[in-house]
Amino acid sequence: MESLFVVRVFPSYIIDSTPLKPGIVMPTFLCLYSIFLLAVNNQVFPSVLTQIGGSAAQQGLFLTALFLLLPLASVFAGLLADRIGKKTLLIIGTFFLAFPFAASAFLENYWLRLMVVLSFGIGLGVVEGQASALLTDVHPGKERSMMNLSQFFFCTGAAGGPFFISLAYKLIPGLELSSLLLAVALFTFTAMMGFFFLKDGQYGMVTDDPRRHTVILRDRHGRLLLLAIFFYVVPEMGTAGWLAKYTETALHVQRALAPLSLTLFWSGLGSSRMLVGLFFHRMHDRRLLIISLGMSLIFQTAAFLVRTPALAFLFFFLFGFGMGTIWPTLVSMAGSAYRESTGSAVGFMLAAGAAAVPLIHPLIGLLSQEEFLGLRATLLCLTSFTALNLSIVSAMRKRER
């Protein structure tokens, strides 16, 4: 079974035929599986945003609540992981991922759901941060390849989530939102149970030295990485959170098919992540980032200028393809540069990116109202963040891995 997993998931163990050491298959599988599930969860509420009700501003507030506690959870979990290890944190994190869907399945009131989904940010911050950190621990020297592979699983879940939601509504007429939310919760609980079977172990270095926990904040290279991931997440999650609604209201695609725009967007991200993870793992990080950001800027602009749905769908895919390798490259750079404190380094990176989400969603919700800019112009304005990020990455000094 282990050899089958290695052949299918790790072709020649990411190109160079290095043997896959025993004892790391289980944690690797669980990390990839949990990242896949959290990506599915990430797309549920954006895919059914019009069913939640309320004004555009209230919908923006709801999306903000999903990610509000993510930065704090990422930092706290990272600091704690470097002291006690990652297994317990991943069990707790997956519980918090499942809980808001299970609870909100029985809550129809908008404000009660709003309060419940606050816990989603906790689970997301813990699981994505520590699953990514654990992958860098158990695959030293292959951080970028593993981050691209893990984010391929993320994109598979993010693309598959809206697709299966559309399929479910097509196959099950009258499907209740509560039934959909409960099904998502049950699947997520399987990841929590899986982490119980993970062998106890720290996997990375454990230290109580506070200077090691915050070294990424005190290093110029680290601060640029934190800034770059912040400006990356603004257009990524800003687009992902509102793309289904944009497709339905601005491109006039029927509600059941609108989430497919998200499927194409995340499919683009996943395609480039798998391609780079397998075949361009030797390219210098900074060069890869500049190419990816340049491509993103071109197709991000095109995607929200065209008004033909078919052409827009093509550009959604290409926009995602350009963005795909940016997040895993930035995180792998942090993991390899600050190996003595991977939990906190990756935790701070996640927190920096997550801090953008509760800021951008209410801003989009406000500006997208017709008396202001409207949704099309608002999403088009996100190109400015991609352009700014391109200048930040260009300013980074070359640092060999």
- pLDDT (tens digit, 9 = 90+) per residue, 145-204? 788 788 888 878 877 787 788 788 888 887 888 888 898 899 889 888 888 887 765 454
H or E element in which residue 11 lies: none
The residue-averaged pLDDT of 364-387 equals: 93
Q: Is residue 126 domain-resident? A: yes
Of the candidates 96, 191, 199, which has an alpha carbon nearest to the alpha carbon of residue 138? Answer: 199
Q: Is residue 242 domain-resident? A: yes
Q: Is residue 18 domain-resident? A: no
Domain count, the chain: 1
- pLDDT (tens digit, 9 = 90+) per residue, 59-83? 878 888 888 888 888 888 877 876 7
- pLDDT (tens digit, 9 = 90+) per residue, 332-350? 888 777 777 777 788 888 8
The span from the CA of 263 to the CA of 260, in Å, is 5
pLDDT on residue 4: 45
Cα-to-chain-centroid distance, residue 324: 11
Half-sphere exposure of 197 (CA within 13 A, CB side): 11
Looking up residue 387, the CATH number of its domain turns out to be 1.20.1250.20
Q: Is residue 3 domain-resident? A: no
Q: Is residue 12 domain-resident? A: no
Contacts of 282 (CB under 8 A, 6+ apart): none
In the chain, pLDDT over 90 holds for what percent of residues?
26
Q: Is residue 294 domain-resident? A: yes
Q: Is residue 2 domain-resident? A: no
Q: Is residue 176 domain-resident? A: yes
41: containing domain: 25-395
pTM exceeds cut of 0.85: no
The span from the CA of 103 to the CA of 42, in Å, is 16
If one counts every other C-beta atom within 10 angstroms of the C-beta of residue 145, the result is 23
- pLDDT (tens digit, 9 = 90+) per residue, 102-142? 998 888 888 888 899 899 989 988 998 888 888 877 877 77
CB 309 within 8 A of CB 246: no
Name the one residue in this structure whose structure tokens are 């109202």: 369
